[in-house]
């Protein structure tokens, strides 16, 4: 299994697990909390079939990557991504970030610039700034994040059970767009994550990316469900699309947080069209849900 070394903690190496498949223009898929690169299973085959080289990786603390007790902040996450990109000698690559993964894209561009980056895609992503403050009234009250941290400390396994109900909007979509087995698989992945990472990542959800987003100068697509209970579209996707010049916003009607699974066909169609392939497959009668920000 391929790994890239991104640092050390005491006597142990910190390594990220990644998968690198196909050929053609590279697409790097960055997963969300508390999952792993395997969560892209509905996107990877479609991208490979369209002729792309597809790279997924597990963020430190999650999946098959090392589980250190340090480095759970976006400066480090972005540096981890940069080390992977450098290790693979990627050029003209697209960055696609789901949920927390959108933060990596924003911070990566701010720290390393957009050289080599051809496109950016934010899906249900946490930018620009989720914390409610005097200059950010659209954000979420800080007590919400504090409550999440307390729940994780008390019993992270019970927390994950409740978390995934809102991750997939199971009260509405279970048995229709997501199975109980798929929800259980997500829980299993979360349970295998580092306990330290599970808690330490929560404060990163309200990192301020407003200045980071202004640095993005490549074609950008923002995809967000209008029924997202984890990262509300009004606090995130809509504002991200406005802060990035020329960004396109696609709203998934009735889409929960994990639209990459529940609404995979819509997400994949938009992704393919944005990347420049698959446009011919879009029917003229298909309803438009997008708006140019």
How far is 210 from 191, CA to CA, in rounded Å? Answer: 32
Does the annotation count 257 as an active-site position?
yes
* CA separation for the pair 11, 148 (Å, rounded): 32
Catalytic residue among 39, 65, 66, 99: 99
List of residues 6+ apart from 71 with CB closer than 8 A = 7, 14, 60, 77, 80
Q: Which of 25, 228, 263, 269 is catalytic?
A: 228
Catalytic site residue from 206, 224, 257, 263:
257
The yes-or-no answer on residue 58 being catalytic is: no
Does the active-site annotation cover 224? Answer: no
| Active-site amino acid positions | 99, 228, 257
């Amino acid at each position: 299994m391929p790994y890239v070394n991104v640092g050390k903690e005491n006597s142990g190496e910190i390594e990220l697990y990644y998968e690198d498949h196909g050929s053609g223009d590279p697409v790097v898929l960055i997963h969300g909390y508390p999952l792993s690169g395997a969560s892209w299973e509905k996107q990877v085959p479609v991208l490979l079939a369209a002729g792309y080289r597809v790279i997924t990786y597990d963020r430190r603390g999650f999946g098959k990557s090392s589980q250190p007790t340090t480095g759970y902040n976006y400066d480090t996450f972005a540096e981890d991504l940069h080390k992977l990109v450098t290790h693979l000698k990627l050029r003209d690559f697209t960055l696609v970030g789901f949920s927390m993964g959108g933060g990596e894209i924003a911070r990566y561009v701010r720290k390393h610039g957009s050289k080599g980056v051809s496109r950016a895609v934010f899906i249900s992503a946490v930018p620009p700034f989720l914390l409610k403050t005097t200059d950010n009234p659209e954000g979420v009250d800080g007590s919400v994040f504090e409550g999440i941290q307390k729940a994780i400390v008390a019993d992270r396994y019970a927390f994950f059970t409740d978390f995934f109900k809102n991750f997939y909007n199971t009260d509405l979509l279970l048995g229709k767009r997501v199975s109980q087995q798929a929800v259980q698989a997500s829980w299993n992945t979360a349970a295998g994550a580092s306990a330290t990472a599970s808690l330490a990542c929560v404060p990163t959800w309200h990192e301020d990316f407003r200045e980071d987003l202004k640095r993005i100068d490549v074609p950008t697509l923002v995809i967000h469900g209008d029924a997202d209970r984890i990262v509300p579209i009004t606090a995130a996707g809509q504002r991200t699309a406005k802060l990035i010049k020329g960004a396109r916003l696609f709203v998934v009607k009735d889409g929960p947080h994990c639209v990459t699974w529940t609404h995979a066909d819509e997400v994949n169609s938009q992704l393919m069209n944005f990347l420049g392939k698959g446009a011919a497959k879009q029917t003229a009668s298909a309803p438009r849900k997008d708006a140019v920000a």
